[in-house]
């Protein structure tokens, strides 16, 4: 985020202050020391520390590493966002802790495509991504999904939840799942995907264990059968609220007998 901007004069030495706790803020000595900072910061840090101590403890002087450690204990995304709006150093701390994060939930936040893409691109170590919505004004579109399909972490993702994202279709889901080859769990419930997305999943995600297609009304039995046929590690499937023929459960079980099928298909009168 830093763009080389020089802060106002009275704070210009501040970033280095934590390294020189013996210098009272604003002293002429502080001004002298800054000259050496340019030459070798780390060597100087080692030498300092004895003699006097700082007058007041300011959390602001904590190194970014410690900040990142603190932020790693903030569970929700909104708290990270709040922290990153405090000051520039905290913003760097949040970025660093984001890069170390394995799980990220944006569920319920009204994030747009651009912000989503930026967050996911900086989360190098990400394994689990939840962008499902809990408010009706979800701004993420296929464009956003396409953008995150280009992120570094995408091949390591084992879990993606996108349920209830009313604006996404095959156009975004296909590029995403094509890159997400390590995927184990996928939730696309309530979206408008069709069999095309299922074909892409079947082709790219051989390790898929669970998929939720709750209320995906544009997905048909053809897509599901192909998916179950191809993804042999599939253990559970949720087809609740989909329009499927009455003998469908039997059909899936004939392909994969152990498959757990969560459904509300009426099977009282099975026609076989």
Give the nearer residue to another protein in terms of CB position, either 17 or 184.
17
* Minimum distance from residue 150 beta carbon to another protein (Å): 21
In contact, 213 and 237? CB cutoff 8 Å:
yes
In the DSSP assignment, the letter for residue 115 is H
Work out whether strand 210-212 and strand 103-105 pair parallel, antiparallel, or are unpaired: unpaired
40 binds another protein (CB under 8 A): no
The site string for another protein over 43-72 (x = CB under 8 A, - otherwise) reads: ---x-xxxx-x--xxxxxxxx-xx--xxxx
Q: 70-99 burial, b for 16+ CB within 10 Å, e for fewer?
A: bbbeeeebeebbebbeeeebbbbbbbbbbe
In the DSSP assignment, the letter for residue 45 is H
Chosen residue from 41, 88, 103, 229 binding another protein by CB under 8 A:
88
Residue with tokens 């990153």: 84
DSSP-assigned states of every residue in 223-263: HHHHHHHH-TT--EEE-TT----TTHHHHHHHH-TT-EEE-
* Minimum distance from residue 48 beta carbon to another protein (Å): 7
* Minimum distance from residue 43 beta carbon to another protein (Å): 13
266 binds another protein (CB under 8 A): no
**Binding range to another protein, per CB under 8 A, among 106-114, 124-132, 179-187, 254-262:** 106-114
Give the nearer residue to another protein in terms of CB position, either 85 or 264.
85
Of residues 181, 215, 182, 214, the one with CA closest to residue 200: 181
**Binding range to another protein, per CB under 8 A, among 80-88, 148-156, 207-215, 236-244:** 80-88
# residues near another protein by CB under 8 A: 47
In contact, 125 and 102? CB cutoff 8 Å:
yes
87 binds another protein (CB under 8 A): yes
90 binds another protein (CB under 8 A): yes
11 binds another protein (CB under 8 A): yes
Long-range contacts of 11-15 (CB under 8 A, 24+ apart): 14/60, 15/89
For Cα atoms 109, 215, 174, give the angle at the middle one, nearest 5 degrees.
70
Span 109-168, contacts to another protein by CB under 8 A: 109-111, 115, 135, 137
Give the nearer residue to another protein in terms of CB position, either 50 or 268.
50
**Binding range to another protein, per CB under 8 A, among 2-10, 24-32, 161-169, 191-199:** 2-10
Give the nearer residue to another protein in terms of CB position, either 3 or 42.
3
At 232, give phi and psi (nearest 5°).
Answer: -75, -10
Report the interface residues with another protein, using CB under 8 A: 1, 3, 5, 7, 11, 14, 21, 46, 48-51, 53, 56-63, 65-66, 69-74, 78-79, 81-88, 90, 108-111, 115, 135, 137
């Amino acid at each position: 985020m830093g763009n080389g901007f020089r802060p106002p004069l009275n704070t210009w030495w501040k970033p280095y202050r934590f390294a020189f706790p013996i210098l009272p803020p604003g002293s002429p000595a502080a001004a002298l020391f800054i000259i050496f900072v340019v030459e070798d910061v780390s060597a100087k840090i080692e030498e300092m520390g004895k003699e006097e101590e700082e007058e007041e403890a300011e959390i602001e002087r904590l190194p970014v590493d410690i900040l990142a450690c603190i932020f790693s204990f903030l569970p929700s995304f909104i708290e990270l966002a709040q922290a990153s709006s405090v000051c520039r150093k905290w913003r760097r701390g949040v970025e660093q802790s984001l890069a170390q994060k394995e799980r990220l939930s944006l569920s319920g936040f009204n994030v747009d495509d651009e912000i989503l893409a930026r967050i996911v691109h900086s989360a190098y170590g990400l394994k689990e991504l939840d962008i499902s919505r809990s408010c009706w004004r979800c701004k993420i579109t296929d464009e956003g999904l396409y953008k995150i399909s280009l992120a570094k972490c995408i091949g390591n993702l084992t879990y993606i939840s996108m349920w209830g994202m009313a604006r996404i279709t095959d156009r975004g889901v296909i590029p995403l799942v094509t890159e997400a080859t390590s995927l184990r769990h996928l939730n696309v419930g309530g979206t408008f995907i069709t069999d095309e997305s299922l074909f892409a999943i079947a082709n790219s995600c051989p390790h898929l264990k669970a998929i939720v297609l709750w209320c995906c009304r544009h997905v048909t039995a053809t897509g599901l059968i192909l998916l179950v046929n191809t993804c042999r590690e599939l253990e559970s499937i949720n087809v609740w609220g989909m329009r499927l023929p009455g003998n469908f459960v039997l059909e899936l079980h004939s392909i994969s007998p152990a498959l757990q099928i969560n459904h509300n298909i009426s099977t009282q009168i099975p026609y076989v």
